A and B are shown apart, each in its own frame.
Chain A
């Protein structure tokens, strides 16, 4: 059964603005590592942000975990977001907070306002955070401030924060674009390992096609908000890639 089913999704940022997504459909199944590729401006980031409604789609349907996402009210939407982890291109950590506080912020959806004010997270959250930090190799950096870490380390904090949610789906928005090639590969491999270990399906925007074909089992190729390719990684070839990136060649 599909974890996530997107049907005929349209999105635009303002009523008169250009349409960014022009009817996108795809399904993410359990154990999928699903890549969204395409040139800059194709709508990859918009698409991934529509899934947890950081961007409001204008029409179409998104069914996640048996629930229609597009019609959810605010409180229900927040409950839904707890089940979807997200990793960002620019890490989006709170720089002036410690690594620990950043990872714990993954539990905010389950934390009362009063506890948030005093950053009083329950013991099991702290245990969970420590085991994740150990797993991503940052156990020696727990008390450091996030802005004292290198890019690769920051993204590992981002991974731990997303996994802190015990997500049923992970959204990865260009998780390695801000990193150098070697670190990119390490981070991508870590994400893939963790996803397999915890059996979380992933939906991943990715610019690096080679990395995408190595890590992902399914690919959707976007160009200017339109699906140019959708299928298994094995079915992807140079010719189709050329088609997707045609705009860039021009």
Chain B
């Protein structure tokens, strides 16, 4: 290979390019080493030190424990019907109530229609963040403490947990609307309320419906586990089967949860397809 010595300018560029490439190799090498150390340390702390190896025993023991769960407790299924329906209803009622809570949240949280920006906008954003950053189980624990055991706590937990996402998406849709109709409704002498109902709502309604169906589908999953903390539905049965060491019963509950989730997905798929 001939060098670039004949062309000093090009040669300088070549030096710089080579230097840059060498530096980026060092950097990626250093990053790889750092990452490996971090992973090794994590595995040591969380898996090696934190696991009760004596209790796990041999590989055969692990397999035996797993095999407890293989098989269904068919006798349990009739008893799952009511909790399954309850789970679905918790999801439906929770989503509906959440939607009502979204009205003020989305109204205050859309910068272009919020009544008094310095106060109402941060308030709405706080509501949304609070709703989303606290896990549904934690919300359910809170509401079980407030209204006692049962489906009511589940409905409230789902509702409050749903506000964040629905309101955020709705508020963003409102911020993106076409202002033409707003101007037109103002020009005929319409009030702010009329502007919202006549010029804004029709524009964002398809997005709201789509988001609500999506959230409802997720809420079925959520309500299926809320029973673990005493908020009704299939989760409660799951918890009971686990406590009585009826492992086949546990599997039956998981199958039931799977069925209603698939049902929810199917329903949401058909509604979406009909809408579009």
Contacts of B185 in A (CB 8 A): 105, 108
> What CA separation (Å) do A78 and B191 show in the bound complex?
7
Q: Which of A52, A54, A81, A94 contacts B181 (CB 8 A)?
A: A94
A105-B198, A116-B198, A117-B197 in contact; A96/B191 too (CB < 8 A)? no
> What CA separation (Å) do A88 and B205 show in the bound complex?
24
Contacts of B191 in A (CB 8 A): 78, 113
CB <8 Å contact, A88 and B180: yes
CB <8 Å contact, A111 and B194: yes
> What CA separation (Å) do A246 and B27 show in the bound complex?
62
CB <8 Å contact, A81 and B186: yes
Contacts of B35 in A (CB 8 A): none
Chain A residue at smallest Cβ distance from B187: A86
Contacts of A116 in B (CB 8 A): 193-194, 197-198
A111-B194, A113-B194 in contact; A105/B184 too (CB < 8 A)? yes
Give the size of the chain B interface in residues (CB under 8 angstroms). Answer: 20
Cβ-based interface call for A79 (8 A): yes
CB <8 Å contact, B194 and A94: no
Contacts of A110 in B (CB 8 A): 189
Cβ-based interface call for A92 (8 A): yes
CB <8 Å contact, A93 and B181: yes
Within 8 A of A (CB), among B151-191: 180-181, 183-191
Cβ-based interface call for A165 (8 A): yes
Against B, the Cβ 8 Å flags (1 = close, 0 = not) of A145-167 are 00000000000000001000100
Q: Which of A90, A93, A96, A165 contacts B188 (CB 8 A)?
A: A165
A78-B191, A105-B198, A116-B194 in contact; A93/B184 too (CB < 8 A)? yes
Cβ-based interface call for B202 (8 A): yes
Against A, the Cβ 8 Å flags (1 = close, 0 = not) of B195-215 are 001110011011000000000
Cβ-based interface call for A181 (8 A): no
CB <8 Å contact, B184 and A92: yes
The size class of the interface chain A forms with chain B is 20 to 34
A88-B180, A91-B180, A92-B181 in contact; A81/B198 too (CB < 8 A)? no
Contacts of A92 in B (CB 8 A): 180-181, 183-184
> What CA separation (Å) do A23 and B186 show in the bound complex?
26
Chain A nearest CB from B183 CB (Å) reads 6
Contacts of B203 in A (CB 8 A): 94-96
> What CA separation (Å) do A111 and B180 show in the bound complex?
21
Chain A nearest CB from B195 CB (Å) reads 9
CB <8 Å contact, A86 and B197: no
Cβ-based interface call for A84 (8 A): yes
Within 8 A of B (CB), among A97-154: 97, 105-111, 113, 116-117
CB <8 Å contact, B193 and A113: yes
Chain B nearest CB from A175 CB (Å) reads 13
CB <8 Å contact, B194 and A108: yes
> What CA separation (Å) do A109 and B195 show in the bound complex?
11
> What CA separation (Å) do A141 and B183 show in the bound complex?
24
> What CA separation (Å) do A165 and B181 show in the bound complex?
16
Binding site for A on B (CB under 8 A): 180-181, 183-191, 193-194, 197-199, 202-203, 205-206
- 6 examples of A-B residue contacts, CB within 8 angstroms: A78-B190, A81-B187, A88-B183, A93-B180, A94-B181, A108-B188
